[in-house]
Structure 1
Amino acid sequence: MIQAIDTPSAPAVPRAALLGFGWLLCALFFLYAFVQRVAPSVMVDDLMRDFAVGGALLGNLSAYYYYAYAGSQIPVGVLMDRFGPRRLVTIAAALAGAGSLVFVMADGLWLASVGRLMIGFGCAFSFVGALNYAALWFPPNRFATLSGWAQMLGVAGGILGQAPLGYLVESVGWRLAVAGLAAFGLALAVATGLVLRDRPRSAPAASAGGLRLLSGLKRAAATGQVWLAAGFGMAMTGSMLAFGGLWGVPYVEQAYDLPKAEAAALVSILFVGWGVGAPLWGVLSDRWSRRRPFMAIGGVLATAGIAGAVYLPGLDTVSLAAILCIQGFGSSSMVLCFAVARENTPAWSAGVTLGIVNGFVVGSGAVLQPLVGWLLDLGWEGSLVAGARIYSLAAYQGAFLILPVTCAWGVLITLFVRETGARPFEE
């Protein structure tokens, strides 16, 4: 059960139910961001045809979301520490909805890229907003649990952005489907503006002790454990964003001779595993007051899962679904990287610390999506269907080799992570 902080020293503390609903709206914004993140995976053929692009350019188009999202995380964190989540999350949701409208109206690659940049920049405030709201209003020993639940809702968005959105795209076309996403983003902006609350400036949590605006950035950047946490999160999330977020659906279509909607449904099992694992890793880690062992176990499962999904011969679809579920479950241990980073830095730098880590986490998509697309283009044998490039199974397997290697790198990082005992940072 979520329990909000309610102390006599904090003036004008809102009711716990209102704070819980506010956190839920922030988490729903992250769900929406995840739908936007993976949406191109069910539009690959349509976007290749309508914009006349190959794998590398399509990877870049999809990755514009990540460029804006990851590149803005540090300033997002600084802004969160300075202004609080209410105004920022509201404006950001509106910007993401407006970006969807731009993407719908695009008749060329450049305008579509502008739309994806707007969506990415708006969505950049989603997960940090949920984490910041949790840090602002809820007890420290609930932080990893709330982070896990936020990840679960986000990954529910990943599931919605696969099979359900795939069916919608096939039924009404990709432009009308994205227009629906625009409407949802604008409605969410209205709701967050009405419900979210910031700490009063007189409250201790918001005062920052007279520190300068960029002091939190300097402190976080000088803390080695923050960078280790960021590296682990990046390694765990990269395969999910590259495979589940873009290239997994066309791979399954090719390897298993399935139509788009069924392939999307199969790939979405990865997000089911992620959605189950994220809150579970958080609850177990908080209960046992341990971070590093759970990170290492999750990293091993993630490495084995993505390697098995691509390279085990003769898999049937049921076995593939099970392996993808394991991969998603293991990768979701990345949620603990936020707790590690926060527990190694003071509370007054929480926003920028979480921004740095989340920038690396989402930045993995900005790197791996176009990299896989470039590798696929290198292995392309010249086959075209309705103007879209078709890649062979061998091309996919060669391009996907980078994914288990990245996960294995995350396992190595856990050897250097300092155990915090789930205790808040003390000066």
Structure 2
Amino acid sequence: MSSLQIHDIGRRRAWSIWSVALAVYVLAVLHRSSLGVAGLLAAERFHINATSLAAFTVLQLVVYAAMQVPVGVMLDRFGSRAMLLAGLAMMTVGQLVFAFTTSFGGAVLARAVLGAGDAMVFVSVIRLVTVWFLVRQAPLVTQLTGLVGQMGAILAAAPLAFLLDRLGWTGAFGLVSSLGVVLLIAVALLVKDSPYRRDEVVQVKLRALAQSVRTLWGNPGTRLGMWSHFTSQFAATVFTLLWGYPFLVQGLGWSEAAASTLLMAMTGWAVLSGLVLARLVGRLPYWRSWIVIGIVAAMVVPWTAVLLWPGPAPAWIVVVMAFTTATGGPAAMVGFDLARTFTPVQAIGRANGLVNVGGFTAALLTMALIGVVLDLVEPGGMDAYTLDDYRLALSVQYLFWGFGVVQILRYRRRGLAHLERVHPGATEQMRAGQPFVHPGIGTEGV
């Protein structure tokens, strides 16, 4: 970082910049989640089956995940403002095309462009949090970023369903795409990359890119963050973005209004649980990985009850299952906090990009597998799926939960050994409830 600080850290300007960037993230989540309530309409509009419907979201997330490393490199080099502007432009174009196209191929291309723009947003906001807020503020602001950002999922539930009903497909998605133009102006006018006169950019040449990524990937803290993100996030993403709504309506026999309400309630619960989790993580930095594992265990128990219940599970068990699943969103934010412990700020964009690959890779693989299993057990299409079909298909989640927990435990052990070797005293500091600040961050924000 440059030594000349010209703005206060963690004060009014920081909150203003974060608020504008957060609005962009809310819009990104709205775009990303828009098929959650439009999935059945999309199946009718494009005449597709479950595998093809899953292809929309899977491709979007494939593009999102594949771009995380190059986006991280560009973020460290060009800064958050430029990446937010580029991401907004791509999301606006992608959603506009999605509004007007009537072909499956055109819709797939539109979702790919949307995923590319979406890939630039979250890590850009997290980098702003890293440079504009005090180290002691960062865990709370990181949680708030993820949680308030999920307001986009609420907007993609009942409000978008209302717009689809009143305006139709083209009118609803066209209106949503226009929001990007407003935010483009706000970001251009209000967002500043750094509180320093000249933020130090990282000029990563192509020949050095592979080595840069290998170095970060070789750090067990980066992988611990990634596997924490992988294990805790995917179930909530799968449920809210694609398969939760059909499962509730077709599988469990819920009304469309009740299903939309539950999806919105999940977001509200995620906000509340995330605020509690932020304080817990801030006070117990040494136990962050175990907190993630505990939340995953809390998801698995009610999911097992819902899937094994003879007949449709009672509503209260489904609600418990949905709320514990929603808690996975805040738990995934812990992955970025873990990576920050092991990474200097000059490389935080690349590290966050690698972490962010985790949950979305798990989500896209799970979504795809659920679609494949549904089509294998019932070739008749979306209208023919039964509760037993959904039970079998949704069981693929256990593969990812189990594998992820094993990897978290593995890299927690390696990460602690790394800190003891490279930064003696760091683990004792975290055991005492004090966050460890990587020396590369400096002391300005402490």
One fold, TM greater than 0.5? Answer: yes
Q: Is the 8 A contact 1:169 1:177 kept in 2?
A: yes
> In the alignment, which of 9, 12, 29 is matched to residue 6 of structure 2?
12
**Equivalent residue for 1:307?**
304
**Mapped pair 1:355 → 2:323:** no
Per-residue deviation at 1:41?
1.9
Per-residue deviation at 1:410?
3.0
Within 5 Å, which residues of 2 pair with 1:256-405? 256-290=252-286, 291-313=288-310, 314-380=312-378, 382=380, 388-405=382-399
Q: Quick one: structure 1 residues 296 and 224, their matched pair in 2 at CA, closer, same or farther if it must change by over 3 Å?
A: same
**Equivalent residue for 2:439?**
426
Per-residue deviation at 1:351?
0.5
Q: Distance in 2 between matches of 1:52 and 1:93?
A: 30
Per-residue deviation at 1:156?
2.0
**Equivalent residue for 1:226?**
222
Q: Deviations over 1:65-107 (max 9, x none)?
A: 2122111010111111111111210121121111110111112
Q: Distance in 2 between matches of 1:330 and 1:398?
A: 22
SS at match of 2:313: coil
**Mapped pair 1:106 → 2:101:** yes
| Corresponding pairs, count | 415
Q: Is the 8 A contact 1:272 1:325 kept in 2?
A: no
Q: Distance in 1 between matches of 2:109 and 2:74?
A: 23
Q: Deviations over 1:120-146 (max 9, x none)?
A: 111112210111001121122222211
Per-residue deviation at 1:370?
1.8
**Mapped pair 1:152 → 2:150:** no
Q: Structure 2: give runs of 5+ residues left out of the alignment.
A: 417-426, 441-446
Q: Deviations over 1:328-358 (max 9, x none)?
A: 1245311111111121122221100001111
Amino acid at match of 1:425: H
**Mapped pair 1:406 → 2:403:** no
Q: Is the 8 A contact 2:235 2:328 kept in 1?
A: no
Q: Structure 1: give runs of 5+ residues left out of the alignment.
A: 1-6
**Mapped pair 1:76 → 2:89:** no
Q: Quick one: structure 1 residues 332 and 311, their matched pair in 2 at CA, closer, same or farther if it must change by over 3 Å?
A: farther
Same amino acid, percent of matched pairs: 21
Q: Quick one: structure 1 residues 173 and 93, their matched pair in 2 at CA, closer, same or farther if it must change by over 3 Å?
A: same
SS at match of 2:192: coil
Q: Quick one: structure 1 residues 298 and 233, their matched pair in 2 at CA, closer, same or farther if it must change by over 3 Å?
A: same
Q: Deviations over 1:202-254 (max 9, x none)?
A: 65x6255x876636423212213312321221121111122221011111112
**Mapped pair 1:173 → 2:168:** yes
**Mapped pair 1:199 → 2:194:** yes
Q: Is the 8 A contact 2:269 2:327 kept in 1?
A: yes
SS at match of 1:78: helix
Q: Is the 8 A contact 1:225 1:340 kept in 2?
A: yes
Q: Distance in 1 between matches of 2:191 and 2:12?
A: 12
Q: Is the 8 A contact 2:302 2:320 kept in 1?
A: no
Q: Distance in 2 between matches of 1:243 and 1:374?
A: 16
Scaled by the length of structure 1, what TM-score is found? 0.90
Q: Distance in 2 between matches of 1:216 and 1:84?
A: 18
Q: Distance in 2 between matches of 1:196 and 1:146?
A: 17
**Mapped pair 1:29 → 2:24:** yes
Q: Is the 8 A contact 2:146 2:329 kept in 1?
A: no
Q: Deviations over 1:376-398 (max 9, x none)?
A: 1111152x6xxx54311111000
Amino acid at match of 2:256: K
Scaled by the length of structure 2, what TM-score is found? 0.86
